[in-house]
């Protein structure tokens, strides 16, 4: 047994993956399913690198094919992790476990002593690519649903998820290149994919400890409603049966009650307040006002913020206080939307109207 420089990185990967996996498994908080799935992902990497060391340090050659078992596992785990963040109340079902059948079959084939290399590597890479692509699609669909049914999107978790997928896509891309062109397999005696995995786990470890634990996921009802909105929305053909009474009821309620100042306001919540179906309200907002729900509500929030900046309650009232009171909880979102509507930042607007 001998230890080389290129084997030090696998040791670090094993240590970090195991440590952070245990931290996630023992964490007391919300999002337990998400934490367990991310822990599974990290522990899979750590376990795979135990076999990597066994093959490279102990020179056990027949361990190379078991890498395919891990390869067939990464895609399903990341896919389920994505679903657990995106869908509110997500729980793993028996149907979800079927995604791991290729990994289980590959494990049995390996235990049977069958040579897997001529057949399965290409399928493994295709599997990972397919799961990553569908996970990105879920993020895209989530954003559409949130715009149609919610006033505030939980962007922190989405960016966190998106970056995990992007980084792992880069890792897999280099792994495929090294598989196709073996001459590029090492950089100064150290495998480039190992370096990228170490960077990825370190980033997950650092960022994961700082992530918020409350996430506003979507429900199947939100998804179905959003799909119907997208299907029926036609800005050039407003709904013909809309009544002036419905329009005035909505506008009066927004003016008098200011429900948009509620951070958690949703399409269904506003519809309940108006004693109207959520589908009818979505048609009214999308087709009559030519806006999605998120834009419609945030426009009202910005108008109220402009009024408050021009006439503050007192001299000590800060922009942050106004931001929270009108319904925003993200300074970056508030500044971006405010500048998009007024052409200047809240602080610039405040100076302009106070002159």
* pLDDT-derived band at 212, boundaries 50, 70, 90: very low
> Which residue range(s) make up the domain with 247?
233-354
- Same domain, yes or no: 316 and 179: no
Is the pLDDT score of 215 beyond 50?
A: no
In a domain, 226, yes or no: no
- Mark 168-189 as b/e (b = at least 16 C-beta within 10 Å): bbebbebbbebeeeeeeeeeee
CA distance 247 to 287: 12
- Maximum Cα–Cα distance across the chain: 83
Q: Say whether both 177 and 247 belong to one domain.
A: no
Asked, for residue 109, whether it belongs to a domain, the answer is yes
The answer as to whether 345 is a domain residue is yes
Residue with tokens 């062109």: 181
pLDDT of residue 351: 86
**216 inside domain:** no
Boundary (domain end) residue, out of 193, 208, 223: 208
Rounded Cα–Cα distance for residues 206 and 234 (Å): 45
- Tell me if 225 is assigned to some domain: no
- Domain co-membership, 254 together with 335: yes
**Given this model, what pLDDT does residue 214 score?**
39
Q: Same structural domain for residues 69 and 165?
A: yes
**Lookup: tokens for 83:** 């679903």
- Residues 265, 343 within the same domain: yes
Whether 214 is covered by a domain: the verdict is no
For residue 234, the model assigns a pLDDT of: 56
pLDDT over threshold 50, residue 242: yes
Domain contains 325: yes
Q: Please say which residue of 173, 208, 243 terminates a domain.
A: 208
Measured distance CA(231)–CA(229) in Å, rounded: 5
On whether both 170 and 259 belong to a single domain, the answer is no
Q: Tokens for 54?
A: 């066994």
Given a cut of 90, is residue 230 above it in pLDDT?
no
239 in the same domain as 143: no
Q: What pLDDT is recorded for position 280?
A: 86
Looking at the fold, whether 126 and 256 belong to one and the same domain comes out as no
CB 269 within 8 A of CB 297: no
The predicted structure's pLDDT at residue 316: 80
pLDDT of residue 284: 87
Query: Which two structure tokens, joined as six digits, stand for 274?
Result: 């108006």
190 is written with which tokens? 């150290």
197 and 252 housed in the same domain: no
What pLDDT does 154 receive? 60
34 plus 121 within the same structural domain: yes
Residue predicted with more confidence, 28 or 67: 67
Which CATH number covers residue 321?
1.10.10.60
The stretch 81-101 carries a mean pLDDT of 91
Most confident range (mean pLDDT) of 174-188, 201-215, 225-239, 289-303 is 289-303
Is residue 24 located within the same domain as residue 167? yes
* 242 and 282 both lie in a single domain: yes
The per-residue DSSP string of 289-331 comes to S---HHHHHHHHHHHHHHHHHHS-SSTT--HHHHHHHHT---H
Q: Specify the number of domains making up the chain.
A: 2
Q: Which pLDDT value is given to residue 22?
A: 92
């Amino acid at each position: 047994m001998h230890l080389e420089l290129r084997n030090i990185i696998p040791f670090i990967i094993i240590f970090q993956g195991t440590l952070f996996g245990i931290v996630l498994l023992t964490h007391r908080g919300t999002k337990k399913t998400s934490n367990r799935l991310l822990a599974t992902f990290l522990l899979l990497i750590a376990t795979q690198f135990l076999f990597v060391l066994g093959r490279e340090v102990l020179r056990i050659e027949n361990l190379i094919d078991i890498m395919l078992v891990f390869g067939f596992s990464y895609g399903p785990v990341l896919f389920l992790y994505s679903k657990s963040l995106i869908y509110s109340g997500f729980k793993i079902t028996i149907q979800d476990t079927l995604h791991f059948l290729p990994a289980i079959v590959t494990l049995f084939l390996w235990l049977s002593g069958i040579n897997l290399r001529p057949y399965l590597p290409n399928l493994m890479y295709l599997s990972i690519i397919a799961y990553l692509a569908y996970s990105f699609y879920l993020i895209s669909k989530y954003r559409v649903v949130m715009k149609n049914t919610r006033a505030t999107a939980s962007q922190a978790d989405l960016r966190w998820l998106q970056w995990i997928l992007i980084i792992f896509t880069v890792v897999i891309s280099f792994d495929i290149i090294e598989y196709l062109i073996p001459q590029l397999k090492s950089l100064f005696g150290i495998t480039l994919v190992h370096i990228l995995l170490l960077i990825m786990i370190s980033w997950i470890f650092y960022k994961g400890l700082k992530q918020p634990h409350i996430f506003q996921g979507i429900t199947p009802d939100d998804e179905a409603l959003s799909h119907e909105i997208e299907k029926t929305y036609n800005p050039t053909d407003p709904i013909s049966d809309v009544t002036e009474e419905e329009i005035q009821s909505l506008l009066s309620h927004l003016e008098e009650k200011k429900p948009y100042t509620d951070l958690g306001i949703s399409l269904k919540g506003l519809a309940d307040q108006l004693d109207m179906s959520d589908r009818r309200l979505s048609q009214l907002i999308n087709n009559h006002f030519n806006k999605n729900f998120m834009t419609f509500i945030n426009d009202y929030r910005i108008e109220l913020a402009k009024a408050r900046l021009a006439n503050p309650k007192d001299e000590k009232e800060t922009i942050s206080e106004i931001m929270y009171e009108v319904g925003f909880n993200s300074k970056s979102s508030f500044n971006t939307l405010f500048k998009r509507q007024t052409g200047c930042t809240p602080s610039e607007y405040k100076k302009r109207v106070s002159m």
